[in-house]
Amino acid sequence: MSAGGPPAADPHPVREREIRRWHDSGQAWDRWADSMADPAARLNQPLLAALALQPHHTLLDLASGAGEPAITAAKGMNPAQGGRVLASDLVPAMLAGARRRGAGVATLSFLAADMTALPLAPASVDRISCRFGLMFVPDAAAAVAEMHRVLRPGGIAALLCWGPKAGNTLFRLLDEALGGVPELAVLFRFAEEGTLGRLFLEAGFDTVSETALEQSALADAAKPFWRPTLDMAFTPALARMSAEARAAVEDRITAAVALETKMDGKIPVHLHARLLVAHK
């Protein structure tokens, strides 16, 4: 598959749908990656802290998309000590943003691979990260088994998945405006406490911890602060709509935002993620 052309047909329909979804979303993710760097950094902090990275480590970042947390982690690695980060993703088109944003970072390299079948030797990496990727993998247990296989004994895997929709203002508002699009449900697949942890224990990890990560910010309601999320997370849903339908969605979002805007023109935007940390 090339980053430019359409993806080749895949014998597994669910996987093929995911490949097409992310292939079509790559440009939007690349376009917004720089302006989303600050919120992305806030999410990276607890994830990277949980990994306790050392400059000589090999970190495998799964589902890197436009490059986080791989790029941030790679900047802290020491090539002289063998430190490196492998940014991997199912879809080469999604890695285009990571390649552009990570150009010149000597410790960063790229790998197009399905996380359920990694072309890596057993026990070959010290750490694994995955930020908002596992939800999209139909056979998540196979992906976690692969993480366990390629991680060295004593290694750590840390992942972020979304918590409940009710705790995620942007997804809740956009879902209401879009009228319950199928792309949304999968985001909350591991929202219930304990679901992620069970997967990792069943795969053979020694210790597993799961923490709720809740953040709140005030957004300027007069600005379309919701547009990056709409473009990136709902590319296929938008592509299915006419220009009039898309304009109607934007009107509904604006109206919903107005209802929740405070006297000072700000709207509270809550985020609820789940941080999973597993030790092998």
Q: Which is nearer to ligand SAM, 91 or 156 (CB)?
A: 91
Residue ranges in the chain assigned as alpha helix (H): 13-33, 37-51, 70-75, 92-101, 140-150, 169-178, 182-185, 195-202, 227-233, 235-239, 243-260
Q: Which is nearer to ligand SAM, 177 or 232 (CB)?
A: 232
CA torsion sign, 111 to 115 to 118 to 121?
Answer: positive
By beta carbon distance, the residue nearest ligand SAM is: 65
Specify the residue for token string 């709409």: 230
Q: Which is nearer to ligand SAM, 18 or 175 (CB)?
A: 18
Tell me which residues touch ligand SAM (CB under 6 A).
18, 22, 62-66, 68, 89-91, 94, 114-116, 131-133, 136-137
Q: Which is nearer to ligand SAM, 114 or 210 (CB)?
A: 114
Question: Least separation, in Å, of the C-beta of 138 and ligand SAM?
Answer: 8
Q: Which is nearer to ligand SAM, 75 or 262 (CB)?
A: 75
CA torsion sign, 200 to 42 to 261 to 181?
Answer: negative
Alpha-carbon separation of residue 97 from 28, 30, 71, 72, 152 (angstroms): 9, 4, 11, 14, 29
Question: Least separation, in Å, of the C-beta of 192 and ligand SAM?
Answer: 19
Residue 267 pairs in a beta bridge with 219
Question: Least separation, in Å, of the C-beta of 216 and ligand SAM?
Answer: 19
Question: Least separation, in Å, of the C-beta of 232 and ligand SAM?
Answer: 7
- Token output for 236: 């296929």
Is the bond preceding 69 in cis, omega lying within 30 degrees of 0? yes
Question: Least separation, in Å, of the C-beta of 22 and ligand SAM?
Answer: 3
Q: Which is nearer to ligand SAM, 69 or 221 (CB)?
A: 69
Count CB neighbours of 92 within 10 A.
Answer: 20
Question: Least separation, in Å, of the C-beta of 178 and ligand SAM?
Answer: 17
